[in-house]
Structure 1
């Protein structure tokens, strides 16, 4: 059954993209408990298995039903276009206990037996303690699961936003939304999202947050009850090659032509990325990556453009042809 989000004139002016490290943390926790999500993340799962085993994620999983409501207070919509995890987790930590209790009860009701379980009753009996303990656990999950790879993840998410922002300028909101995901439909100022469950909401001047996500794949997630801002999370572009190691991606012929470092940089740019993100991904010094980027740009294989406070590099058509034809 679909979700219908109805736009008024003011809503059309208040749509924005956002990236949320808190959201990625929550969805990474969910992914650990969802084998159907493991396909693109097998390399990550193998690498973090030992560290993840030291986390007791059962209290969070209890509030992540297979179908149904996850508490909005625990993973609210992004508070800004580039909020840090520390800023987002502090907003969660300051949640109103009574509102959090009601929200948590809705979530527990979607898992058979959870409301009556000792764990569920303990959460509802002391909501202030629940907020404190679950927030601490989410923070531990961030440091263990996401923070080490955040530069790589953020670069992919920002590249998705850069791509879709260009398309927004070219085709407008009504043309963009169906392009973002095949489950999005747009008709008469209504966004229809084909997903489990039925939901209908008039945006009421709040607009819509569009949020690419790495760990929500393959799901599209929409909702957030008032007063939360309506948000739709969708799988980011390019996650198929996210966890590939540099040596697995660089053709030998390209190495012979450009040298290993420059070939690795060119091959890694399936999506636009910053110098720091490439350095983290390729495990090279930022100064070396910067020199390779400059050489590739001077050779006409890359272009660069500013996105906020960062510079994103991407392949030109010649660079694309060379990278794809090297194998």
Structure 2
């Protein structure tokens, strides 16, 4: 059943995008337990399987009922568009214990028996201690599951924001929300989200606007969350997830024309990317990838534009035609 988010004039001025490594960490933890999320992420799951043997995620899983409510403070909306993990973790550690207790009680109530369990009672009796434990488990999960791949994930998420920003500039909210997700729609000043949870809710945004948070691991869902004091947020799957964990291969004709590595770099740019992310994905030295990108750009096959502190490369129409023609 849907969530209807009614926009006023002030809300239209407060639509923003952000990338959240903290949110991605928790979505990755959810992916480990839900078979319907494995799909695109099966190669990643195979790779982290050995790491999981020494990683106890029980304290986090206690507050991730499916379906059900996860405490908002665990993935509070980031203040800046490109927040760092350490910055977000520090904000998690600084959560008011009383607010955390109320949100944890709401979450535990979604799982039969959890409120009365020994762990549930201990958590609510010492919310400050629970915050510390959840922050420590989240940090371990980040370092084990996401940190090694973060340059690649961040590049994909930043490319998604750049794409959506161009949609907003070219066609307003109607175009922005037209293909954001099949379960998201926009009409007559109302954003409607149809999540997995069976409920109907109408939310007046009251000038708080909406944060749009692209995610790799939320796929195939779309999630809308965050009651006051948090900014309303829609977490949705970013474009380009399908090729995230695969190493692209150029066809023989393109390799003969450009050389094997240069052709592979062109083939890998099915979505905008940074030098660092491409190097990580292809297993090549950043200096080598940078040299290939310069040659391809000089040949008119790529364009480059700055996004925040990074430069994103993407194929031009000529580059697209050349890659597709192979």
Shorter-chain TM-score range: over 0.9
Distance 1:242 1:205 in 2: 36
Between the aligned partners of 1:40 and 1:258, the Cα distance in structure 2 is 30
SS of the residue corresponding to residue 180 of structure 1 reads: coil
SS of the counterpart of 1:306?
strand
1:54-65, aligned counterparts within 5 Å? 54-65=54-65
Q: Which residue of 1 aligns with 2:286?
A: 286
1:215 corresponds to: 217
1:140-186 deviation line (CA, Å, top 9, x unaligned): 00000000000000000001111111111111013211221121111
Match of 1:261 in 2: 261
Query: What's the CA shift for 1:256?
Result: 1.6
Corresponding position of 1:25: 25
SS of 1:70's partner is coil
Q: Does 1:47 align with 2:53?
A: no
In structure 2, what is the equivalent of residue 322 of structure 1?
322
Inter-partner Cα distance in structure 1 for 2:117 and 2:201: 28
Q: Is the deviation greater in 279-288 or in 151-160? A: 279-288
In the TM superposition, what whole-angstrom CA distance separates every residue of 1:207-260 from its partner, at most 9, and x where no partner exists? Answer: 1110110000000000211110011010000000000024xx322222122111
Mapped partners of 2:106, 2:252: distance in 1: 55
Query: What is aligned with 1:227?
Result: 229
Secondary structure of 2:228's match? coil
Give the corresponding residue for 1:206: 208
Q: In structure 2, what is the Cα distance between the partners aligned to 1:242 and 1:213?
A: 12
- Range with bigger deviation, 189-198 or 97-106: 189-198
CA distances 1:60-114 after superposition (whole Å, capped 9, x unpaired): 1110011111001111112210110000000000111111011000000011111
Partner of 1:80: 80
Residues paired across the two proteins, number: 324
State the TM-score, normalized to the length of structure 2. Answer: 0.97
The worse-fitting range, judged by mean Cα deviation, of 219-228 and 199-208 is: 199-208
1:157–1:213 Cα contact (<8 Å) kept: yes
Matches within 5 A, 1:185-200: 185-195=185-195, 196=197, 197-200=199-202
- Does 2:302 correspond to 1:302? yes
1:171-205: per-residue Cα shift (whole Å, max 9, x none)? 10132112211211111111001122333211111
TM-score w.r.t. length of structure 1: 0.97
- In the alignment, the residues of structure 1 paired with residue 35 and residue 179 of structure 2 have an alpha-carbon distance, to the nearest angstrom, of 27
Contact 2:6 2:203 in 1 (8 A): yes
Equivalent position of 1:244 in the other structure:
246
Distance 2:13 2:60 in 1: 36
My pick for the range that moved more, 272-281 or 8-17, is: 272-281
1:178 and 1:227 map into 2 onto residues whose CA distance is: 29
Aligned equivalents of 2:10 and 2:26: distance in 1? 31
Contact 1:199 1:223 survives alignment (8 Å): no
CA shift, 1:261, in A, is 1.3
SS of residue matched to 1:311: strand
Where 2:115 maps in the other structure, the secondary structure is coil
CA distance in 2, matches of 1:58, 1:308: 36
Q: Where does 1:129-144 land on structure 2 (aligned, <5 Å)?
A: 129-144=129-144
CA RMSD of aligned residues (A): 1.0
Structure 2: gaps (5+ residues): none
How many Å separate the matches in 1 of 2:79 and 2:222?
20
Asked whether the 8 Å contact 1:60–1:134 carries over to 2, the reply is yes
In structure 1, distance between residues paired with 2:200 and 2:217? 23
Please say if residues 300 and 316 of structure 1, whose CA atoms lie closer than 8 Å, have aligned partners that are also in contact. yes
1:112 aligned residue: 112
